[in-house]
């Protein structure tokens, strides 16, 4: 019965996802419906992958080169041990381990009193609240002292939170979308000999009045050319949307210069050495007025980033095992 339910769910998702196809493809919807299912069983691409990787544009010899939701499971075995996996999963453990690079003030709600929380918010005026159960930036918000009672009520109800000092973007990056903390996603891998590989650098930008820039919360990602330090492609949202200019600020994205880009690679090399048993990580980094601030590390980071630089990563990552 469970298998039947899963199959029915897949069939429904495969059909619904086709609404995100470009209009010129949508008139062949039935054909692409079967193609979505084929890619799921052949390449391990879930329906979301079909759109975010633009598999409808790629022939078979290219499709098999992409990291997909299912085939990336091979990397879980080789690129992490239990310690590194738990550290990347638990935000408070990550902030402790990477304290050299996580320099903002923060609290882990289970370790402090209600008075500590009130004092922390009073001290900073505004704070970022991250539910421990949150993924993709869902539930992350900025609060002030007017919401202290709400936060304490959530804590009493059993929810665990990271409560953090608000990070300020470098003014050049802030102007793209002032409402969100725009970040860099830096994907790295340490190969079997410990050699460092920089796989991808992306500027993640929010598009709405929310603090998060995560693409699954409506944001976009722009590929950064590390030789020039500039965005060299349009912004991309995994729902298949491309942006030449930011929809709120109207700022042109191609050619946008990333502050301190020439210092980023050395910074990330140092970050990687803190926990080298986590070999394949998507690091989230904020460019501040004075440099960089590390937000978190993500294991097996989202496969949709391959669309931004146009380089499939499956065989590349396998070679690093």
- Strand, helix or coil for residue 120: helix
Q: Which domains does the chain have, with CATH numbers?
A: 2-66 (no CATH), 74-100+169-320 (3.30.470.20), 106-165 (3.30.1490.20)
Strand partners, 204: 183, 221
pLDDT of residue 135: 67
Quick one: tokens of 215?
A: 């693409």
pLDDT of residue 212: 47
Strand partners, 237: 241
Asked whether 224 and 261 are in contact (CB, 8 A), the reply is yes
* Cα angle for residues 182, 288, 304 (degrees, 5° grid): 30
Cα of first residue to Cα of last residue in the chain, in angstroms, is 37
- Our measurement of the distance from residue 196's CA atom to the centroid of its chain's CA atoms, rounded to an integer in Å, reads 20
Identify the segments of the chain with pLDDT beneath 50: 212-213
Residue 262, exposed/middle/buried by CB under 10 A (0-12, 13-18, 19+)?
Answer: exposed
pTM of the model: 0.93
pLDDT of residue 207: 85
The CA distance from 167 to 201, in Å, is 20
């Amino acid at each position: 019965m469970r298998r039947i339910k899963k199959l029915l769910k897949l069939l429904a998702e495969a059909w619904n996802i086709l609404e995100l196809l470009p209009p010129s493809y949508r008139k062949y919807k039935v054909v692409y419906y079967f193609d979505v299912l084929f890619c799921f069983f052949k390449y391990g691409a879930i329906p979301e992958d079909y759109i975010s990787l633009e598999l409808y544009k790629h022939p078979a010899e290219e499709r098999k080169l992409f990291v997909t939701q299912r085939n990336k499971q091979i990397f879980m075995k080789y690129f992490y041990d239990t310690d590194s996996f738990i550290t990347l999963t638990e935000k408070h453990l990550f902030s402790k381990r990477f304290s050299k690079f996580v320099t903002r003030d923060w609290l882990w709600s289970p370790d402090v009193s209600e008075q500590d929380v009130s004092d922390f918010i009073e001290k900073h005026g505004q704070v970022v609240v991250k539910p421990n159960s949150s993924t993709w930036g869902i539930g992350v918000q900025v609060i002030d002292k007017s919401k202290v009672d709400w936060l304490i009520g959530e804590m009493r109800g059993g929810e665990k939170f990271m409560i953090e000092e608000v990070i300020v973007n470098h003014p050049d990056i802030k102007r793209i979308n002032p409402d969100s903390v725009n970040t860099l996603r830096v994907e790295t891998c340490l190969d079997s000999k410990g050699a460092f590989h920089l796989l991808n650098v992306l500027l993640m930008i929010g598009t709405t009045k929310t603090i998060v820039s995560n693409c699954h919360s409506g944001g976009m990602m722009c590929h950064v050319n590390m030789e020039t330090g500039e965005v060299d492609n349009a912004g991309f949202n995994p729902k298949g949307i491309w942006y030449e200019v930011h929809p709120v600020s109207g700022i042109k994205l191609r050619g946008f210069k990333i502050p301190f880009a020439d210092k980023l690679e050395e910074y990330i090399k140092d970050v990687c050495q803190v926990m080298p048993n986590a070999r394949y990580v998507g690091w989230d980094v904020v460019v501040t007025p004075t440099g960089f601030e590390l937000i978190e590390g993500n294991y097996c980071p989202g496969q949709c980033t391959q669309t931004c630089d146009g380089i499939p990563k499956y065989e590349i990552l396998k070679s690093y095992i």
